A = this chain, B = another copy of it.
Amino acid sequence: MPNAPSTPADLDRWLADHDVANLEALNEFLRIPSVSASSERNADTARAAAWLNGALARIGFSSKVMKTPGHPVVLAEWRKAPAGSPTVLVYGHYDVQPPEPLELWTSPPFEPTVRDGKLFARGAVDDKGQLWVHVMALAAHLGARGTLPMNVIVVAEGEEEVGSANLAPFIEENAKKLRCDYIVISDSAMFAPGIPSILSSLRGLAYFEILVKGPAADLHSGMYGGAVVNPATALSRIIATLHDSNGRVAIRGFYERVKPFPAAVLKGMKKLPHSDARFKKEIGVRALGGETGKTTLEKLWTRPTCDVNGLLSGYTGEGAKTVLPSSAMAKVSFRLVPNQDPDVVERLLRSHVQKVTPPGVTATVHALHGGRPWRADLDGLLYDAARRALRAAFGKDPVVVGEGGSIPVVGDFERILGAPVLLVGFGLPGENAHAPDEWISLDNVRRGARAMATLWDEVATRKG
């Protein structure tokens, strides 16, 4: 490979020299049980914000803890780059998932412990460890060179694990101050050990509740069965119309706005070392489903879907109760891909449901939640720089991966600040992000810091 990039020797050296101190600091951060969902942990969550604020100030940032209606945001800035330099924004979160069930942890969740090259702790990978990768990279620049090649803003929120309700308003209110050219977020995973990965797409969401109502009250299924339209049967039949026999969503117009993924991205996905056999074993099924003729990764990352998330009707306790239920409810959600729109999907679903609902029952569709899909423009300067930086640190070209779920803040940042977002994660499959024994690979922490330190050089160079 011509012109293979390498990580800058001065930054590498600084990181190597400060390796123990940096990991000790991360351990301090991980010891604070900043569980945003537990109000009895509010003092700890505030303590984590204060700790991070202090850490960013120590490396040379102007940092403050900013109030929100919920947990505070840590906002740190370094703006001493020469005029005309670009500005980058790094986002992460200092709150963590609840650690329960505690008995399933091999070592206590808030006592960071290294086993087999992995650092175990709640928040190790989600997201304190990955946020710390960025702090290390920034510290390397300021420590080794006393400067950064661009202006940098760090935004760390404390509510990511409880829905980020106050983040978008915070960005809106502080849009001027947060104005930037590039946004970088590390809160995801690499495809496999040793394979640096750029997350280039997120699916959107359109989540509904469908309520089918029949008779005014529950009826005796013996006395009335056979003459009354059964709401649970009707709901099942409605759900059965949502897919065709090829696993495609059978709502008219559903695929109309789907913009195919670039051929190169699809080709790249096919080359990834994915094993359906391992995937099936991991989730405990004998066969996979979904659209015929698509690979698993294609289905998960690039295709829209429809899933039933919940069903409730009639009698669900033990044994037999002969009730003809007066109503039946389903939670039904769609994962969306660019350029699908949750509002359009809502309209299409409403019209579909009305069309297939039999007389004798009524069906109503309540929209519960929606989020737009996201896809990166892989051709920009930021992505070129990221590819070189990751190759330099990991010795391998990064792969492009997708994510079937949603990270709503990505869309918020891009929409409000108008800057492209780079999602580059240093977790790994099996990292137990929301489960007991959460861990991050120490090798990834170290290589990640070298990669991110290199990234800033790459961005600045290319800009110049």
Which of B307, B313, B360 interacts with A286 by CB under 8 Å? B360
**In the complex, what residues of B have CB within 8 A of residue A299's CB?**
226-227
User: What 1/0 mask marks residues of chain A from 203 to 244 whose CB sits below 8 Å from any chain B CB?
Assistant: 101010000001111011111111111101101110110110
A335 within 8 A of B: yes
Q: Is the CB of A203 within 8 A of B222?
A: yes
Which of B203, B219, B287, B303 interacts with A359 by CB under 8 Å? B287
A418 within 8 A of B: no
Rounded to whole Å, the gap between the CB of A340 and the closest CB of chain B is 13
A203 CA / B358 CA spacing, docked (Å): 26
Give the dominant DSSP class at A's interface. mixed
A314 within 8 A of B: yes
A329 within 8 A of B: yes
User: What 1/0 mask marks residues of chain A from 332 to 360 whose CB sits below 8 Å from any chain B CB?
Assistant: 01010000000000000000000000111
User: What 1/0 mask marks residues of chain A from 296 to 337 whose CB sits below 8 Å from any chain B CB?
Assistant: 100110011111111111111001111111001111010100
Q: Is the CB of B233 within 8 A of A405?
A: no
**In the complex, what residues of B have CB within 8 A of residue A242's CB?**
233
Given contacts A227-B289, A228-B288, A307-B233, contact A216 B322 (CB under 8 A): no
Closest chain B residue to A276 by CB distance?
Answer: B227
Which of B321, B360, B404 interacts with A285 by CB under 8 Å? B360
A284 within 8 A of B: yes
User: What 1/0 mask marks residues of chain A from 271 to 297 whose CB sits below 8 Å from any chain B CB?
Assistant: 000000001000111111111000010
Which of B215, B229, B232, B311 interacts with A284 by CB under 8 Å? B215
Given contacts A307-B230, A308-B313, contact A214 B285 (CB under 8 A): yes
Q: Is the CB of A360 within 8 A of B287?
A: yes
Q: Is the CB of A315 within 8 A of B322?
A: no
A214 CA / B287 CA spacing, docked (Å): 10
A44 within 8 A of B: no
Q: Is the CB of A222 within 8 A of B283?
A: no
**In the complex, what residues of B have CB within 8 A of residue A216's CB?**
283-285
Rounded to whole Å, the gap between the CB of A235 and the closest CB of chain B is 7
A321 CA / B335 CA spacing, docked (Å): 13
A205 CA / B313 CA spacing, docked (Å): 20
**In the complex, what residues of B have CB within 8 A of residue A220's CB?**
404-405
A147 within 8 A of B: no
A64 CA / B215 CA spacing, docked (Å): 46
Q: Is the CB of A324 within 8 A of B307?
A: yes
Q: Is the CB of B360 within 8 A of A289?
A: yes
**In the complex, what residues of B have CB within 8 A of residue A306's CB?**
233
Q: Is the CB of A215 within 8 A of B307?
A: no
Which residues from 43 to 90 on chain A have a C-beta closer than 8 Å to any C-beta of chain B?
none
Q: Is the CB of A235 within 8 A of B236?
A: yes
**In the complex, what residues of B have CB within 8 A of residue A324's CB?**
307, 309
**14 extra interchain contacts, Cβ-Cβ under 8 A, other than A236-B237, A311-B316, A320-B369?**
A207-B322, A216-B284, A220-B404, A222-B335, A224-B404, A225-B305, A226-B307, A228-B283, A228-B288, A230-B308, A239-B240, A240-B240, A286-B359, A319-B368
**Top 9 nearest A-B pairs by Cβ distance?**
A222-B405, A216-B284, A229-B289, A240-B240, A232-B308, A236-B239, A226-B305, A287-B359, A310-B314
Chain A residues with CB under 8 Å of chain B are: 203, 205, 207, 214-217, 219-230, 232-233, 235-237, 239-240, 242-243, 279, 283-291, 296, 299-300, 303-316, 319-325, 328-331, 333, 335, 358-361, 368-369, 403-406
